[in-house]
Structures are given as C-alpha cells and as structure tokens.
Amino acid sequence: MKLFKTVLCAAAASLAMGGVASAAEWSFNAGAATDYVFRGIDQSGPWYDENQIFGGADVTFGMDNAFYAGSWVSNTGTQYDNGVEYDLYTGWKSKLGGANIDLGLIFYGYNNSEEGDVSDNSNTFEVKAAASIPAGSWTYGGAVYYSNDYAGSNEASTYVEANLAYTLKSGPTLSAAVGNFSSDCCSGSVGSYSTFNFGVTVPVTEKVSLDARYIGVTDDASHFGSKFDGFVATVKATF
C-alpha cells in the first residue's frame, strides 16, 4: 500500500509542478456480468453463484491529462464465502511515434471474508507496460504485467497478452486476445497456462454498452484456480 501511495503522490506532484494545463477529468462506471473471469480463471464461484456486480471511478490530470488514477470494486469468492475485491491503480499515458503507451501500477486488494476463502493475504501489486497501434478501423496491442509477490506467495508472476480490435462503421467493435500467465506461486511442477477470448462490444447508447465474449483456457490453468471455458455477457454504463 505504501508503494501505491508513493506513486500517487508523485503523480500529484507532477501536476503541481507542471501547472494545470488541463483540468482534471473524472469518469465513473458500473456494470454487471454473468460471471467474473480474470485471465481465464473464474473469480465468482460455481455456476449457481457466478454473477458479478462492479463499479469504479477514474480521473486524468496533469499536462495533457497524461496521468491517471482510479479505483474499481467487485464481488468475488463463492456462494458460501462472498468477498470483495478492490483495485487501485495509477499510471501515465503518452504517444511514441504511432503507438499509444501506457505505463502503470495496479494494486489488487481483498477483504477478509468469514470463511476465509477471500483474504487480504492475496493482496498483489503489479506493474504494467502496454502499447497499442491504431491503423484505420483496426487497433493492435500488447501488454506485460509483472508482480514480484503474486497473491502473497513470495513468488513472481508474469502475464503477457497480445490483442486486436476492429470497429465496424455501424458502431460495434470486434476484439480478441491471447495471453500467457506464468508463476511458481500455486502450481507445483506446472508453472504456466494460456488463455484466449474473442467477442463483440455493442454501444447501446452513448453511455451504455453490451459485451458478449467467449473465454477459453488451457488445462494447466486448473493448477491456479477454477479454470473457465464459456461465454460471458457484460453490461456496462460509463458516465
């Protein structure tokens, strides 16, 4: 937590030294999904208790609003031990040639639930380096996430992802991604697994969107949690 506060204070100091070239801009979001799946792992329990409710807030600030910070909260855990996940993040976005660059820090936090299935022992910091290249209606992207202490295991982890998206003239966006997670945190002899997803995001109104997505994962993911194979539908409002 001290690390997150340090980064956030540094970003605020940058705003003060650089002057208020752009006023801070706030946005908020809320939504629901048929399941909470993160990197191919089911985060919200078995089929009879798989729904997700989430919400968040974001602010951009500094010169050209290049700095950002935000928070996000969601239910997690099983029916018998419902818990809460709260994520805090901050970072910096810029352009390098024709690419959009995003460098950030993410804190994944958890409450201590009654049954102990959800615990703050799993709290995790990650650093992120991502880039995307727009090319007409296409966007090509990639990202790397790294933690030196994944889920309180004292083991490092890395998640690498490649993604692409195509926006139709009528409004919907088709997208797909493939990623690989690796760590010695939980798996014994199997230290990695791969996951993929593809789907469509449809703007219903200016502020509301619907997303339908198929998520798949390799069998090795079972060493890291409850692996997910199937469709997830999400409705999200941004305001």
Q: Return the H-helix or E-strand segment holding 95.
A: strand 83-96
DSSP secondary structure, 183-212, as one string: ESSS-TT--EEEEEEEEEEEESSSSEEEEE
**pLDDT band of 16, cuts 50, 70, 90:** very low
> How high is the pLDDT of residue 23?
87
Q: Check residues 216 and 22 and name the one with the higher pLDDT.
A: 216
Tell me which range, 11-25, 49-63, 69-83, 90-104, is most confidently predicted by mean pLDDT: 90-104
Determine the residue type at 79.
Answer: Q
Separation between Cα atoms, residue 190 and residue 230, nearest integer Å: 23
> How high is the pLDDT of residue 6?
46
| CATH number of the domain where residue 126 is located | 2.40.160.40
Looking up tokens 């810029």, which residue turns up? 94
> How high is the pLDDT of residue 22?
65
For residue range 154-195, what is the model confidence (pLDDT) as tens digits?
A: 899 999 999 999 999 999 999 999 999 999 887 555 589 999
pLDDT higher than threshold 70 for residue 79: no
Strand partners, 58: 27, 70
pLDDT higher than threshold 70 for residue 12: no
> How high is the pLDDT of residue 77?
85
Mean pLDDT, rounded, of the chain: 88
Global pTM reads 0.89
Separation between Cα atoms, residue 21 and residue 91, nearest integer Å: 18
For residue range 31-72, what is the model confidence (pLDDT) as tens digits?
A: 999 999 999 999 986 544 679 999 999 999 999 999 999 999
Q: Which own/partner pairs from 41-44 qualify as long-range (CB within 8 Å, at least 24 positions apart)?
A: 41/217, 41/221, 41/224, 41/225, 41/226, 41/227, 41/228, 42/225, 42/226, 42/227, 42/228, 43/74, 43/76, 43/77, 43/85, 44/75, 44/76, 44/77, 44/78
**Distance spanning both ends of the chain, measured CA to CA:** 28
Domains in the chain, number: 1
Q: Both tokens of residue 214?
A: 């198929």
Q: Which own/partner pairs from 5-11 qualify as long-range (CB within 8 Å, at least 24 positions apart)?
A: 7/90, 7/105, 8/69, 8/90, 11/61, 11/62, 11/67, 11/69, 11/90, 11/92
pLDDT higher than threshold 50 for residue 208: yes
What single DSSP character describes residue 43?
A: -
Strand partners, 110: 85
Report which of 159, 118, 110, 155 is spatially closest to residue 1, judged by C-alpha positions: 110
Report which of 73, 135, 70 is spatially closest to residue 102, judged by C-alpha positions: 70
How far is residue 18 from each of residues 14, 194, 205, 217, 238, measured CA to CA in Å? 6, 42, 36, 45, 29
Structural domain boundaries, residue 51: 2-238
